[in-house]
Amino acid sequence: MMTIQEKEEFFCIPHKDNELLDFRAIFGNDNPVYMEIGCGKGELIATKSLVEWDRNFLGIEVKGDRIRIILHKLDASRHANVRLMRLYVDDSVINIIPRHSIRKIFIIHPDPWPKRKHHKNRIIQDSFLDTLNQILRLRGEIEIATDHQEYVMWIVEHFARRKDFVALYEKGYTTLPRAGHIVTYYEEFKRKEGYPPYFMRFRKTDHLPLTAHTPQGDEDDRPETTAGNLSAESSGNR
């Protein structure tokens, strides 16, 4: 069994400011890269990486104690397609994540900053969506979940006034989880309090002019794995 120090050496990516990651060198393959911004207790990345074993997963989390919690859920032999990075994510992430390199981004239950005077702290801002557009591949997707109704409207409105993303749900959101949905600790906790989550999906379009360096998407437009609703418990992780 690996010690927590050995897991840190295997899963955690050291980084330097303004030095781009080389995903081929990190994962040893060219499989599509999925990125989770804010991993919480790690239920999503630890479980989804087992189901979609032919995808690489990069988890970004700013809190060191959460990184250690996630490491306890990972095993090098079962999660060879997972890497973690301790990083505060803002517009400067473009200096670390290569352009057009990410196939899908998960932002699950971000801090809603409910007070109006704190709205400027919300991660979903126009400038941040500009950055996500740059790191996503063509037709790449962003999946977002929150239990805060006003934040849902904020997110939907920010995407609706853009032409480089299209909402994949008619109203911009749904309350119905997709097949294969992974229930996180936070979602379960908030459901018990009477706050069910809202789910949003947005796809990057080809509205903006493509350059010679913009990849034309990849083969990953296949249907999502249908494995029924998953929870952290079903993966054997704690």
- Per the DSSP assignment, residues forming a β-bridge with 148 are none
Given a cut of 60, is residue 231 above it in pLDDT?
no
**Active-site pick, 22, 30, 111, 130:** 111
Active site residue 111: yes
41 SS3 class: coil
Pairing, β 56-61 against β 182-183: unpaired
What pLDDT shows up at residue 147? 97
**C-beta separation of 172 from 222 below 8 A:** no
Task: CATH number of the domain at 165, please.
Answer: 3.40.50.150
Order of strands across the sheet that contains 165-167:
82-86, 56-61, 33-37, 102-108, 136-146, 198-204, 165-167
- Considering the chain, what is the average pLDDT of its residues? 88
> For the segment 182-204, what is each residue's pLDDT rounded down to a tens digit?
999 999 999 999 999 999 999 99
Domain housing 14: 4-235
Q: Which long-range contacts (CB under 8 A, 24 or more apart) does 87-93 make?
A: 87/15, 87/60, 87/61, 87/62, 88/62, 89/37, 89/38, 89/60, 89/62, 89/123, 90/128, 91/127, 91/128, 91/130, 91/131, 93/60, 93/131, 93/135
Instruction: List pLDDT tens digits, range 58-109.
Output: 999 999 999 999 999 999 999 999 999 999 888 889 999 999 999 999 999 9
Tell me how many domains the chain contains: 1
In the chain, the percentage of residues whose pLDDT exceeds 90 is 81
pTM, entire model: 0.86
